[in-house]
Amino acid sequence: MQQLGKANSANIETWLETINTYNSTPEFGTTRVLFTEPEVGARNYVKGEMKKLGMTIHEDAIGNIFGVYPGTDATLPPVWTGSHIDTVLNAGMFDGMSGVVAGLEAVRLIRESGISLRRSLVVVVYTSEEPTRFKLGCLGSRALAGKLDAAEAATLHDAAGKSLYEVLEQLGFPVQDFDLVKKKPGDVFAAVELHIDQTGVLERAGKTVGIVKTICAPTVLEVEVIGRQSHAGGTSMEERRDAYMAACELALVLENLGRHSDSEYTTVTVGKVEVIPNAVNVIPGKVVFSVDIRDCDYDKKNELVMKFRQAVSKVESERGVAVTIKMVNNDHPMGCSPKITQLIEKNCCQQDVPYMYTISGAFHDSMLVGDFAPVAMIFVPSHDGISHSPQEWTDFDDLAAGTDVLTGTLVALANA
Ligand code: GLV
Ligand code: MN
Ligand code: MN
C-alpha cells in the first residue's frame, strides 16, 4: 500500500521565504497589496511552483488562481484547499501564505507517494482576502459565493479612485465572464484551509493543531463625521463643532459596547482614521473612520451595531455634528462541517498531533466558501498569537505537522 511521506519543513520555509521577497516594505514587515507589483510577482511565482508540481492552472474573472492536481474521475466535484497571498500593511510572512504553501506541500506529498485521488485536488489562491486596497475583504471568495458581481466590482474604488473592475480589466482578467465566477452547492465537494492561529490560544494550550468550529464574521462600517472647520485659537470651546472629538467619543462608545457585550467573541476596532484637514491649528471639519465589529453570533453582532447607531444619534445632537454611516459589509459567521472536522480529528489522532477545538476570531475565505461547500479549517500556533504585524511568527515544524494533518484529510476527502 502506498504511504504518504512526511511534510518537509525546509520546503515550507523556502516557499514562504521566497514569497516574502515579493514585498513593498522590506524595511518594516511585509506589504503585498492586491495587484501591486509584488503581489503580481508572488502570484506568478506560486503559479510557477504549481506547474512544477504537475498542476494545471486557470484563473477566473476576479483573479482567483486554481491549481488543479487531477483526480482519476473528472466527473466528480473536486476538493479545495488554499488561502491568500495578499497582506495587510506591514504584516508578517505567514497569514494566508501558510495555507497556500501547505497546499503545495500536500500536492508534493501525494504525488511522491503515488497515491491516486478520485477527485481532483485544487489549490486555490483567493484574490484579496485582506481589505487593504478596496476596503472590502475576501474579494475572490465573495465573488465565488455570488456576493460580489461585476456591477459591484465597478463600485469598489481604491485610494487612487480606480475601480476593482477597471483594475481587473487592465490586467487582462476575463471580466466579460464575471458571471461564471459564482459557484453553486455541489460544485465543490469540500474545502479545507490551513491558517495560522491569530489568538495565541494554541500556543497557550501547548497544542499543535486547532480544529476550527466556527469562523467569526465582521461588520464593517465607514463612518463620516461632518463638523465645522475653524480656527484652533479663535473658536471658543462652546462654539466649536469638532469632528475629531466627536469621532473620538464614538470610538470610545464603541469600545465600551465591545467590552460589555455578553458574547465572549465580540471584538470592536477603529483601525483607519482620516482627519481633514489634519493640521495642528485647525479644528477638524471632517473625519472618516472605519469600524470593524466581529462576532460568532450574527444576531448579537447586529444588536451591537444598532446600539452604536443609537450612540451616533446622541453624539450628533450633543455635539452639533452630522454623521453618516455606510455599511461596507455585514457577513455571516460560518460553522465548519462536523464531518470534515471529525476527519481532521481522526488524522490528528493517527499522527499523534496534539490538537484542540477552537474558534476563529479572524475572518477567512472559508467564511464565504462555506456558502456553497462544506468547509473546515486547520490552525497552527502563532507565537504570542501576534498577527497582522511584522512580529508574526510560526515555527516551520508546526507548519509541517499541520500540513501532514491537512494532507491526510485531503486524501480522505478526495477518495470519499
Ligand atoms: C483577516 O485578515 C481579518 O481581518 O480577520
Ligand atoms: Mn489577515
Ligand atoms: Mn488570513
Q: What is the 3-state secondary structure (H, E, C) of 200-217?
A: CHHHHHCCCEEEEEEECE
Helix (H) or strand (E) holding 276: strand 273-276
pLDDT at 237: 97
Q: Which residues form the pocket of ligand 1, taking CB atoms under 6 Å from any ligand atom?
A: 130, 362-363
- Residue range(s) of every CATH 3.30.70.360 domain in the chain: 217-330
Q: Which three cell numbers stand for residue 397?
A: 515544524
217-330 is a CATH 3.40.50.1100 domain: no
pLDDT at 1: 60
Tell me which residues have their CB within 5 A of the ion that is ligand 2: 95
pLDDT at 329: 98
CA 273, CA 70: separation in Å to the nearest integer?
47
Q: What is the pLDDT of residues 3-44, one digit of tens each?
A: 999 999 999 999 999 999 999 999 999 999 999 999 999 999
Cα(2) to ligand 1 centroid in Å equals 39
Q: Which three cell numbers stand for residue 299?
A: 444576531
Q: What is the pLDDT of residues 218-234, one digit of tens each?
A: 999 999 999 999 999 99
- Nearest residue (CA) to ligand 1, atom 5: 362
Burial 357-386, CB ≥16 within 10 A → b, else e: ebbbbbbbbbbbbbbbbbbbbbbbbbbebe
From 85, 377, 388, 389, mutation site for ligand 1 pocket: most ligand atoms within 8 A of C-beta: 388
DSSP 371: T
From 198, 294, 296, 379, mutation site for ligand 1 pocket: most ligand atoms within 8 A of C-beta: 198
Among 267, 260, 274, which residue's Cα sits nearest to residue 223?
Answer: 274
What DSSP string runs through 224-238?
Answer: EEE---EETTTS-TT
CA 149, CA 234: separation in Å to the nearest integer?
50
From 86, 130, 199, mutation site for ligand 1 pocket: most ligand atoms within 8 A of C-beta: 130
Report which bound ligand comes closest to the CA of 96.
3
Contacts of 288 by beta carbon, 8 Å cutoff, 6+ apart: 222, 223, 224, 225, 273, 274, 276
Tell me which residues have their CB within 5 A of the ion that is ligand 3: 95-96
pLDDT at 145: 98
Q: What are the two backbone dihedrals, phi and then psi, of residue 327, each rounded to the nearest 5 degrees? A: -85, 115
pLDDT at 381: 98
CATH code of domain 9-216+335-414:
3.40.630.10
Q: What are the two backbone dihedrals, phi and then psi, of residue 198, each rounded to the nearest 5 degrees? A: -115, 25
CA 385, CA 200: separation in Å to the nearest integer?
3
Cα atoms found within 13 Å of the Cα of residue 257, Cβ hemisphere only: 27
Q: Which atom of ligand 1 lies closest to the CA of 96?
A: 2
CA 230, CA 227: separation in Å to the nearest integer?
9
- Residue range(s) of every CATH 3.40.630.10 domain in the chain: 9-216+335-414
pTM comes to 0.96
pLDDT at 258: 98
Instruction: Tell me the CA distances in angstroms from 116 to 119, 195, 267, one per residue in order.
Output: 9, 26, 44
Question: Residues in the chain with pLDDT < 50?
Answer: none
pLDDT at 2: 83
Q: Which atom of ligand 1 lies closest to the CA of 88?
A: 2
pLDDT at 87: 98
CB-neighbour burial class of residue 236 (10 A; exposed 0-12, middle 13-18, buried 19+): exposed
Helix (H, G, I), strand (E, B) or coil at 246: helix
